[in-house]
Structure 1
Amino acid sequence: MALILILGASRGLGRALTEAYLGQGHRVIATVRRAEDMAALQALGAEVLRLDLADPASVSGLAWQLDGESIDIALYVAGVWDGQAAGVPPTQQQFDAVMHSNVLGFMQALPQIAPMVQAAGGVVAAFSSEMSLLAQADESAWLYRVSKAALNMAVASACEQWPGLTLLALDPGWTQTEMGGSAAPVPLGDSVQGLMRVLAGAVPEDRGSLLRYDGTKIRFFTS
Protein backbone atom coordinates (compact mmCIF):
# COMPACT_ATOMS: atom_id res chain seq x y z
CA MET A 1 0.00 0.00 0.00
CA ALA A 2 1.44 3.33 -1.10
CA LEU A 3 0.78 6.73 0.43
CA ILE A 4 -0.52 9.25 -2.10
CA LEU A 5 -0.71 12.97 -1.32
CA ILE A 6 -3.11 14.92 -3.54
CA LEU A 7 -2.93 18.68 -3.19
CA GLY A 8 -6.20 20.04 -4.52
CA ALA A 9 -8.74 17.21 -4.39
CA SER A 10 -12.14 18.81 -3.95
CA ARG A 11 -13.24 18.35 -7.57
CA GLY A 12 -12.22 17.34 -11.07
CA LEU A 13 -9.00 15.43 -11.57
CA GLY A 14 -7.95 15.73 -7.93
CA ARG A 15 -11.13 14.10 -6.67
CA ALA A 16 -11.14 11.47 -9.42
CA LEU A 17 -7.53 10.51 -8.66
CA THR A 18 -8.33 10.33 -4.95
CA GLU A 19 -11.17 7.92 -5.62
CA ALA A 20 -9.12 5.84 -8.07
CA TYR A 21 -6.14 5.42 -5.74
CA LEU A 22 -8.41 4.57 -2.83
CA GLY A 23 -10.07 2.00 -5.07
CA GLN A 24 -6.69 0.33 -5.54
CA GLY A 25 -6.29 0.04 -1.77
CA HIS A 26 -3.80 2.86 -1.29
CA ARG A 27 -3.77 5.35 1.54
CA VAL A 28 -4.62 8.86 0.32
CA ILE A 29 -4.13 12.19 2.05
CA ALA A 30 -6.12 14.82 0.18
CA THR A 31 -6.33 18.58 0.65
CA VAL A 32 -9.33 20.82 0.12
CA ARG A 33 -9.78 24.56 0.49
CA ARG A 34 -13.31 24.61 1.91
CA ALA A 35 -14.54 22.84 5.03
CA GLU A 36 -17.74 21.78 3.25
CA ASP A 37 -15.69 19.67 0.78
CA MET A 38 -14.09 17.53 3.49
CA ALA A 39 -16.95 15.16 4.29
CA ALA A 40 -17.37 13.76 0.77
CA LEU A 41 -13.71 12.75 0.53
CA GLN A 42 -13.68 11.37 4.06
CA ALA A 43 -16.67 9.22 3.13
CA LEU A 44 -14.56 7.73 0.33
CA GLY A 45 -11.88 6.79 2.84
CA ALA A 46 -9.39 9.62 2.33
CA GLU A 47 -7.62 11.47 5.10
CA VAL A 48 -8.46 15.11 4.47
CA LEU A 49 -6.56 18.27 5.32
CA ARG A 50 -8.00 21.73 4.94
CA LEU A 51 -5.49 23.85 3.05
CA ASP A 52 -5.75 26.91 0.80
CA LEU A 53 -2.92 26.43 -1.68
CA ALA A 54 -3.27 30.01 -2.94
CA ASP A 55 -2.57 31.36 0.56
CA PRO A 56 1.07 31.14 1.75
CA ALA A 57 0.01 31.40 5.39
CA SER A 58 -2.17 28.33 4.97
CA VAL A 59 0.44 26.36 3.02
CA SER A 60 3.12 27.13 5.61
CA GLY A 61 1.57 24.61 7.98
CA LEU A 62 1.68 21.68 5.55
CA ALA A 63 4.93 20.15 6.81
CA TRP A 64 3.80 19.80 10.40
CA GLN A 65 0.47 18.33 9.33
CA LEU A 66 2.42 15.63 7.44
CA ASP A 67 5.13 15.22 10.06
CA GLY A 68 6.61 11.72 10.05
CA GLU A 69 4.99 10.60 6.80
CA SER A 70 6.82 8.83 3.98
CA ILE A 71 5.07 9.80 0.75
CA ASP A 72 5.26 7.66 -2.38
CA ILE A 73 3.49 10.02 -4.79
CA ALA A 74 2.71 13.70 -4.27
CA LEU A 75 0.52 15.43 -6.84
CA TYR A 76 0.02 19.19 -7.08
CA VAL A 77 -3.32 19.27 -8.88
CA ALA A 78 -4.67 22.64 -7.70
CA GLY A 79 -5.17 25.19 -10.43
CA VAL A 80 -7.29 28.06 -11.69
CA TRP A 81 -8.41 28.63 -15.28
CA ASP A 82 -8.51 32.04 -16.92
CA GLY A 83 -9.58 32.03 -20.56
CA GLN A 84 -9.02 35.68 -21.37
CA ALA A 85 -7.21 36.17 -24.67
CA ALA A 86 -3.87 37.87 -25.17
CA GLY A 87 -4.03 41.63 -25.56
CA VAL A 88 -6.54 42.11 -22.75
CA PRO A 89 -4.53 43.06 -19.67
CA PRO A 90 -5.42 41.03 -16.59
CA THR A 91 -6.32 42.90 -13.45
CA GLN A 92 -4.08 42.47 -10.45
CA GLN A 93 -6.81 40.37 -8.83
CA GLN A 94 -6.98 38.04 -11.85
CA PHE A 95 -3.19 37.76 -12.01
CA ASP A 96 -2.87 37.02 -8.32
CA ALA A 97 -5.68 34.45 -8.32
CA VAL A 98 -4.15 32.46 -11.19
CA MET A 99 -0.49 32.77 -10.30
CA HIS A 100 -0.99 32.10 -6.59
CA SER A 101 -2.92 28.90 -7.21
CA ASN A 102 -1.04 27.62 -10.26
CA VAL A 103 2.53 28.59 -9.33
CA LEU A 104 3.05 30.06 -5.86
CA GLY A 105 1.22 27.24 -4.09
CA PHE A 106 3.52 24.66 -5.68
CA MET A 107 6.64 26.67 -4.87
CA GLN A 108 5.47 27.00 -1.25
CA ALA A 109 4.52 23.33 -0.87
CA LEU A 110 7.44 21.65 -2.63
CA PRO A 111 10.20 22.41 -0.07
CA GLN A 112 7.95 21.02 2.65
CA ILE A 113 7.04 17.74 0.96
CA ALA A 114 10.15 17.01 -1.11
CA PRO A 115 12.15 15.46 1.77
CA MET A 116 9.24 13.15 2.63
CA VAL A 117 8.91 11.97 -0.97
CA GLN A 118 12.64 11.69 -1.54
CA ALA A 119 12.99 9.50 1.55
CA ALA A 120 10.45 7.10 0.05
CA GLY A 121 12.11 7.10 -3.38
CA GLY A 122 8.89 8.57 -4.71
CA VAL A 123 7.57 11.02 -7.29
CA VAL A 124 6.43 14.64 -7.07
CA ALA A 125 4.36 15.80 -10.03
CA ALA A 126 2.84 19.21 -10.74
CA PHE A 127 -0.13 19.38 -13.09
CA SER A 128 0.78 21.47 -16.11
CA SER A 129 -0.56 21.53 -19.68
CA GLU A 130 0.56 21.42 -23.28
CA MET A 131 -0.72 25.01 -23.35
CA SER A 132 2.45 25.88 -21.42
CA LEU A 133 4.70 25.08 -24.38
CA LEU A 134 6.18 28.03 -26.27
CA ALA A 135 6.07 26.08 -29.53
CA GLN A 136 2.28 25.83 -29.23
CA ALA A 137 1.56 29.38 -28.10
CA ASP A 138 -1.44 31.25 -29.46
CA GLU A 139 -3.62 34.10 -28.25
CA SER A 140 -6.01 32.03 -26.13
CA ALA A 141 -5.98 31.83 -22.32
CA TRP A 142 -3.04 34.22 -22.06
CA LEU A 143 -2.67 34.27 -18.28
CA TYR A 144 -3.30 30.54 -17.87
CA ARG A 145 -0.56 29.75 -20.42
CA VAL A 146 1.87 32.06 -18.64
CA SER A 147 1.14 30.43 -15.29
CA LYS A 148 1.73 26.91 -16.58
CA ALA A 149 4.95 27.95 -18.33
CA ALA A 150 6.10 29.40 -15.01
CA LEU A 151 5.13 26.17 -13.27
CA ASN A 152 7.28 24.20 -15.74
CA MET A 153 10.24 26.43 -14.88
CA ALA A 154 9.62 25.90 -11.17
CA VAL A 155 9.76 22.13 -11.75
CA ALA A 156 12.89 22.29 -13.91
CA SER A 157 14.73 24.61 -11.54
CA ALA A 158 13.88 22.58 -8.46
CA CYS A 159 15.41 19.45 -9.98
CA GLU A 160 18.81 20.92 -9.13
CA GLN A 161 17.85 21.40 -5.49
CA TRP A 162 16.67 17.82 -4.97
CA PRO A 163 18.81 15.68 -7.30
CA GLY A 164 17.57 12.44 -5.77
CA LEU A 165 13.90 13.24 -6.28
CA THR A 166 11.85 12.23 -9.31
CA LEU A 167 10.27 15.61 -9.93
CA LEU A 168 8.21 16.18 -13.06
CA ALA A 169 5.19 17.87 -14.62
CA LEU A 170 2.06 16.13 -15.88
CA ASP A 171 -0.29 17.00 -18.72
CA PRO A 172 -3.70 15.39 -18.13
CA GLY A 173 -4.94 16.46 -21.54
CA TRP A 174 -7.98 18.61 -22.23
CA THR A 175 -10.24 16.63 -19.95
CA GLN A 176 -13.97 16.53 -19.35
CA THR A 177 -14.05 18.20 -15.95
CA GLU A 178 -15.77 21.28 -14.58
CA MET A 179 -12.73 23.27 -15.71
CA GLY A 180 -12.30 21.54 -19.05
CA GLY A 181 -15.98 21.46 -19.97
CA SER A 182 -18.14 18.78 -21.53
CA ALA A 183 -16.76 19.43 -25.02
CA ALA A 184 -13.23 18.42 -24.02
CA PRO A 185 -11.95 15.46 -26.08
CA VAL A 186 -10.51 13.39 -23.21
CA PRO A 187 -12.95 11.55 -20.90
CA LEU A 188 -12.11 11.98 -17.23
CA GLY A 189 -11.64 8.26 -16.70
CA ASP A 190 -9.19 7.98 -19.60
CA SER A 191 -7.10 10.83 -18.23
CA VAL A 192 -7.05 9.41 -14.70
CA GLN A 193 -6.09 5.90 -15.78
CA GLY A 194 -3.44 7.24 -18.12
CA LEU A 195 -1.94 9.47 -15.43
CA MET A 196 -1.82 6.59 -12.98
CA ARG A 197 -0.02 4.41 -15.53
CA VAL A 198 2.48 7.18 -16.24
CA LEU A 199 3.13 7.72 -12.52
CA ALA A 200 3.49 4.00 -11.87
CA GLY A 201 6.11 3.82 -14.62
CA ALA A 202 7.98 7.03 -13.77
CA VAL A 203 11.74 6.59 -13.33
CA PRO A 204 14.51 8.99 -12.23
CA GLU A 205 15.38 9.63 -15.88
CA ASP A 206 11.99 11.34 -16.26
CA ARG A 207 13.05 14.17 -13.94
CA GLY A 208 12.50 17.58 -15.49
CA SER A 209 10.02 16.31 -18.07
CA LEU A 210 6.42 17.00 -18.98
CA LEU A 211 4.69 13.63 -19.18
CA ARG A 212 1.31 13.44 -20.91
CA TYR A 213 -1.42 11.08 -19.78
CA ASP A 214 -0.84 9.07 -22.98
CA GLY A 215 2.83 8.48 -22.13
CA THR A 216 4.34 11.14 -24.42
CA LYS A 217 7.39 12.82 -22.84
CA ILE A 218 8.74 16.33 -23.44
CA ARG A 219 12.06 17.25 -21.82
CA PHE A 220 12.50 20.71 -20.27
CA PHE A 221 16.29 20.51 -20.51
CA THR A 222 18.89 18.23 -22.05
CA SER A 223 21.54 17.94 -19.33
Structure 2
Amino acid sequence: MNVLILGASRGIGFEFLRQYREAGDTVIATARADEGLRHIESLGAKALRLDVSDTASISGLGWQLDGEKIDVALYVAGVMSRGGATQAPARDDFDRVMRTNVWGAMQAIVQVAPLVQAAAGKFVFISSQMGRIAGVDSSYSWLYRASKAALNMTVASAQPDYPQATFVALSPGWVRTDMGGAGATLSVEESVSAMRKTIQAITPAQRGAFLGHDGRRFEGW
Protein backbone atom coordinates (compact mmCIF):
# COMPACT_ATOMS: atom_id res chain seq x y z
CA MET A 1 0.00 0.00 0.00
CA ASN A 2 1.24 3.49 -0.84
CA VAL A 3 0.77 5.99 2.00
CA LEU A 4 1.33 9.74 2.00
CA ILE A 5 1.64 11.60 5.31
CA LEU A 6 1.60 15.39 5.23
CA GLY A 7 3.21 16.48 8.49
CA ALA A 8 5.24 13.56 9.85
CA SER A 9 8.14 15.07 11.76
CA ARG A 10 6.75 14.31 15.24
CA GLY A 11 3.73 13.33 17.28
CA ILE A 12 0.78 11.71 15.54
CA GLY A 13 2.27 12.09 12.06
CA PHE A 14 5.52 10.40 12.99
CA GLU A 15 3.66 7.58 14.73
CA PHE A 16 1.57 7.00 11.61
CA LEU A 17 4.84 6.79 9.70
CA ARG A 18 6.35 4.36 12.20
CA GLN A 19 3.32 2.05 12.25
CA TYR A 20 2.76 2.02 8.50
CA ARG A 21 6.43 1.27 7.87
CA GLU A 22 6.36 -1.46 10.52
CA ALA A 23 3.44 -2.98 8.60
CA GLY A 24 5.55 -3.00 5.43
CA ASP A 25 3.81 -0.18 3.58
CA THR A 26 5.55 2.22 1.22
CA VAL A 27 5.45 5.69 2.76
CA ILE A 28 6.11 9.19 1.47
CA ALA A 29 6.17 11.70 4.32
CA THR A 30 6.79 15.41 4.69
CA ALA A 31 8.51 17.70 7.15
CA ARG A 32 9.56 21.34 7.17
CA ALA A 33 13.04 21.09 8.67
CA ASP A 34 16.18 19.00 8.17
CA GLU A 35 15.80 17.16 11.48
CA GLY A 36 12.30 16.01 10.60
CA LEU A 37 13.43 14.87 7.17
CA ARG A 38 16.20 12.81 8.77
CA HIS A 39 13.70 11.19 11.15
CA ILE A 40 11.53 10.21 8.20
CA GLU A 41 14.42 8.76 6.23
CA SER A 42 15.63 6.81 9.27
CA LEU A 43 12.48 4.68 9.01
CA GLY A 44 13.01 3.94 5.34
CA ALA A 45 10.40 6.34 4.00
CA LYS A 46 10.77 8.87 1.20
CA ALA A 47 11.08 12.34 2.72
CA LEU A 48 9.79 15.51 1.07
CA ARG A 49 10.36 19.01 2.38
CA LEU A 50 7.01 20.76 2.76
CA ASP A 51 5.59 23.69 4.68
CA VAL A 52 1.81 23.60 4.19
CA SER A 53 1.51 27.25 5.22
CA ASP A 54 3.98 28.49 2.58
CA THR A 55 2.62 29.21 -0.89
CA ALA A 56 5.80 28.39 -2.79
CA SER A 57 6.38 25.20 -0.83
CA ILE A 58 2.95 23.65 -1.14
CA SER A 59 2.49 24.73 -4.75
CA GLY A 60 5.35 22.38 -5.63
CA LEU A 61 3.84 19.32 -3.95
CA GLY A 62 2.06 18.10 -7.07
CA TRP A 63 5.17 17.80 -9.21
CA GLN A 64 7.07 16.11 -6.37
CA LEU A 65 4.36 13.43 -6.37
CA ASP A 66 3.99 13.22 -10.15
CA GLY A 67 3.05 9.72 -11.27
CA GLU A 68 2.20 8.40 -7.81
CA LYS A 69 -1.02 6.60 -6.93
CA ILE A 70 -1.85 7.06 -3.26
CA ASP A 71 -3.93 4.45 -1.42
CA VAL A 72 -4.06 6.44 1.83
CA ALA A 73 -3.21 10.12 2.19
CA LEU A 74 -3.17 11.77 5.61
CA TYR A 75 -3.25 15.50 6.27
CA VAL A 76 -1.83 15.64 9.79
CA ALA A 77 -0.27 19.11 9.77
CA GLY A 78 -1.86 21.40 12.32
CA VAL A 79 -1.18 24.05 14.93
CA MET A 80 -2.88 24.96 18.20
CA SER A 81 -4.06 28.26 19.63
CA ARG A 82 -5.32 28.68 23.18
CA GLY A 83 -7.43 31.38 24.79
CA GLY A 84 -11.16 31.95 24.87
CA ALA A 85 -13.81 34.39 23.72
CA THR A 86 -13.04 37.07 26.29
CA GLN A 87 -10.25 38.27 24.02
CA ALA A 88 -10.08 38.40 20.23
CA PRO A 89 -7.17 36.48 18.67
CA ALA A 90 -4.29 38.50 17.30
CA ARG A 91 -4.30 38.76 13.53
CA ASP A 92 -0.96 36.94 13.22
CA ASP A 93 -2.25 34.06 15.36
CA PHE A 94 -5.47 33.87 13.34
CA ASP A 95 -3.55 33.79 10.07
CA ARG A 96 -1.11 31.14 11.38
CA VAL A 97 -3.83 28.77 12.59
CA MET A 98 -6.23 29.15 9.69
CA ARG A 99 -3.45 29.01 7.11
CA THR A 100 -2.05 25.74 8.47
CA ASN A 101 -5.24 23.99 9.54
CA VAL A 102 -7.55 25.04 6.70
CA TRP A 103 -5.80 26.75 3.79
CA GLY A 104 -3.03 24.15 3.73
CA ALA A 105 -5.61 21.37 3.57
CA MET A 106 -7.39 23.10 0.69
CA GLN A 107 -4.12 23.40 -1.21
CA ALA A 108 -3.28 19.76 -0.52
CA ILE A 109 -6.67 18.58 -1.78
CA VAL A 110 -6.18 20.15 -5.20
CA GLN A 111 -2.79 18.52 -5.65
CA VAL A 112 -3.15 15.20 -3.84
CA ALA A 113 -6.79 14.19 -4.34
CA PRO A 114 -6.35 13.27 -8.03
CA LEU A 115 -3.61 10.83 -6.99
CA VAL A 116 -5.88 9.34 -4.33
CA GLN A 117 -8.75 9.15 -6.80
CA ALA A 118 -6.51 7.31 -9.30
CA ALA A 119 -6.08 4.56 -6.69
CA ALA A 120 -9.72 4.70 -5.50
CA GLY A 121 -8.09 5.47 -2.17
CA LYS A 122 -8.79 7.34 1.06
CA PHE A 123 -7.89 10.91 1.98
CA VAL A 124 -7.96 11.38 5.76
CA PHE A 125 -7.73 14.75 7.51
CA ILE A 126 -6.82 14.81 11.19
CA SER A 127 -9.41 17.04 12.81
CA SER A 128 -10.51 17.29 16.43
CA GLN A 129 -13.63 16.68 18.46
CA MET A 130 -13.09 20.28 19.60
CA GLY A 131 -14.32 21.25 16.13
CA ARG A 132 -17.77 19.80 16.76
CA ILE A 133 -20.48 22.43 16.99
CA ALA A 134 -23.01 20.07 18.59
CA GLY A 135 -22.58 20.03 22.37
CA VAL A 136 -19.82 22.65 22.61
CA ASP A 137 -19.67 23.93 26.19
CA SER A 138 -16.59 26.15 26.26
CA SER A 139 -14.78 28.82 24.26
CA TYR A 140 -11.42 27.33 25.26
CA SER A 141 -9.13 27.44 22.22
CA TRP A 142 -11.93 29.00 20.21
CA LEU A 143 -9.68 29.85 17.27
CA TYR A 144 -8.46 26.25 17.09
CA ARG A 145 -12.07 25.04 17.40
CA ALA A 146 -13.13 27.31 14.54
CA SER A 147 -10.27 26.07 12.34
CA LYS A 148 -11.19 22.42 12.87
CA ALA A 149 -14.88 23.09 12.21
CA ALA A 150 -13.79 24.77 8.99
CA LEU A 151 -11.59 21.79 8.16
CA ASN A 152 -14.56 19.45 8.59
CA MET A 153 -16.57 21.56 6.13
CA THR A 154 -13.61 21.63 3.75
CA VAL A 155 -13.54 17.83 3.71
CA ALA A 156 -17.29 17.39 3.28
CA SER A 157 -17.61 20.02 0.56
CA ALA A 158 -14.61 18.79 -1.45
CA GLN A 159 -15.78 15.17 -1.50
CA PRO A 160 -18.29 15.45 -4.41
CA ASP A 161 -15.55 16.65 -6.77
CA TYR A 162 -13.58 13.42 -6.27
CA PRO A 163 -16.18 10.63 -6.39
CA GLN A 164 -13.68 7.78 -6.78
CA ALA A 165 -11.86 8.77 -3.57
CA THR A 166 -13.19 8.66 -0.02
CA PHE A 167 -12.58 11.72 2.14
CA VAL A 168 -13.07 11.70 5.91
CA ALA A 169 -12.23 13.99 8.80
CA LEU A 170 -10.91 11.96 11.73
CA SER A 171 -10.55 12.92 15.37
CA PRO A 172 -7.54 11.30 17.08
CA GLY A 173 -9.09 11.62 20.55
CA TRP A 174 -7.34 13.38 23.40
CA VAL A 175 -3.73 12.36 22.87
CA ARG A 176 -0.58 12.86 24.96
CA THR A 177 1.37 15.04 22.53
CA ASP A 178 2.85 18.53 22.80
CA MET A 179 -0.57 19.79 21.72
CA GLY A 180 -2.70 17.49 23.86
CA GLY A 181 -0.65 17.71 27.03
CA ALA A 182 0.50 15.18 29.61
CA GLY A 183 -2.97 14.68 31.10
CA ALA A 184 -4.54 13.33 27.90
CA THR A 185 -6.25 9.95 27.99
CA LEU A 186 -4.58 8.28 25.00
CA SER A 187 -0.96 7.61 24.15
CA VAL A 188 0.15 8.43 20.62
CA GLU A 189 0.58 4.73 19.94
CA GLU A 190 -2.96 3.91 21.10
CA SER A 191 -4.54 6.71 19.11
CA VAL A 192 -2.74 5.94 15.87
CA SER A 193 -3.33 2.20 16.18
CA ALA A 194 -7.06 2.83 16.59
CA MET A 195 -7.12 5.31 13.71
CA ARG A 196 -5.34 2.89 11.40
CA LYS A 197 -8.01 0.29 12.09
CA THR A 198 -10.70 2.88 11.44
CA ILE A 199 -9.03 3.98 8.19
CA GLN A 200 -8.76 0.40 7.00
CA ALA A 201 -12.48 -0.13 7.66
CA ILE A 202 -13.69 3.08 5.95
CA THR A 203 -16.16 2.45 3.12
CA PRO A 204 -17.52 4.72 0.37
CA ALA A 205 -20.72 5.03 2.44
CA GLN A 206 -18.71 7.24 4.82
CA ARG A 207 -17.61 9.77 2.21
CA GLY A 208 -17.38 13.24 3.72
CA ALA A 209 -18.01 11.99 7.26
CA PHE A 210 -16.47 13.10 10.55
CA LEU A 211 -15.34 10.06 12.53
CA GLY A 212 -13.84 9.40 15.94
CA HIS A 213 -10.56 7.52 16.29
CA ASP A 214 -12.59 4.42 17.18
CA GLY A 215 -14.72 4.68 14.03
CA ARG A 216 -17.89 6.13 15.52
CA ARG A 217 -19.57 8.69 13.29
CA PHE A 218 -20.28 12.12 14.71
CA GLU A 219 -23.79 13.22 13.81
CA GLY A 220 -25.10 16.77 13.98
CA TRP A 221 -21.61 18.27 13.83
Q: Partner amino acid for 2:62?
A: A
- Whether the 8 Å contact between 1:156 and 1:220 is mirrored in structure 2 is no
Match of 1:199 in 2: 199
* Counterpart mapping for 1:173-184 below 5 A: 173-184=173-184
Match of 1:18 in 2: 17
Match of 2:130 in 1: 131
Match of 1:214 in 2: 214
Deviation at 1:219, TM superposition (A): 4.7
Q: Deviations over 1:152-199 (max 9, x none)?
A: 110111012112220110000010111111110112111011000001
1:90 aligns with 2:89: yes
TM-score (norm 1): 0.96
Match of 2:161 in 1: 161
Match of 1:58 in 2: 57
1:67 aligns with 2:59: no
- Whether the 8 Å contact between 1:210 and 1:220 is mirrored in structure 2 is no
* Counterpart mapping for 1:26-45 below 5 A: 26-45=25-44
> How far apart are the structure 1 equivalents of 2:45 and 2:164?
28
Contiguous gaps of at least 5 residues in structure 2: none
SS at match of 1:135: coil
> How far apart are the structure 1 equivalents of 2:42 and 2:25?
15
Deviation at 1:220, TM superposition (A): 6.8
Q: Partner amino acid for 1:115?
A: P
> How far apart are the structure 1 equivalents of 2:28 and 2:75?
12
**Greater alpha carbon shift after TM alignment, 181-190 vs 142-151:** 181-190
Match of 2:47 in 1: 48
Deviation at 1:139, TM superposition (A): 1.3
SS at match of 2:169: strand
Distance 1:17 1:214, change over 3 A: same
TM-score (norm 2): 0.97
Distance 1:182 1:202, change over 3 A: same
* Counterpart mapping for 1:135-146 below 5 A: 135-137=134-136, 138-146=138-146
- Whether the 8 Å contact between 2:28 and 2:47 is mirrored in structure 1 is yes
- Whether the 8 Å contact between 1:118 and 1:165 is mirrored in structure 2 is yes
Q: What's the RMSD between the two structures over aligned residues?
A: 1.2
Match of 2:103 in 1: 104
Question: Percent identity at matched positions?
Answer: 47
> How far apart are the structure 2 equivalents of 1:220 and 1:167?
18
Distance 1:55 1:136, change over 3 A: farther
Q: Partner amino acid for 1:15?
A: F
- Whether the 8 Å contact between 1:124 and 1:166 is mirrored in structure 2 is yes
> How far apart are the structure 2 equivalents of 1:39 and 1:199?
27
> How far apart are the structure 1 equivalents of 2:151 and 2:60?
22
> How far apart are the structure 1 equivalents of 2:218 and 2:195?
15
Q: How many residue pairs were aligned?
A: 220
Match of 2:188 in 1: 188
Deviation at 1:210, TM superposition (A): 0.9
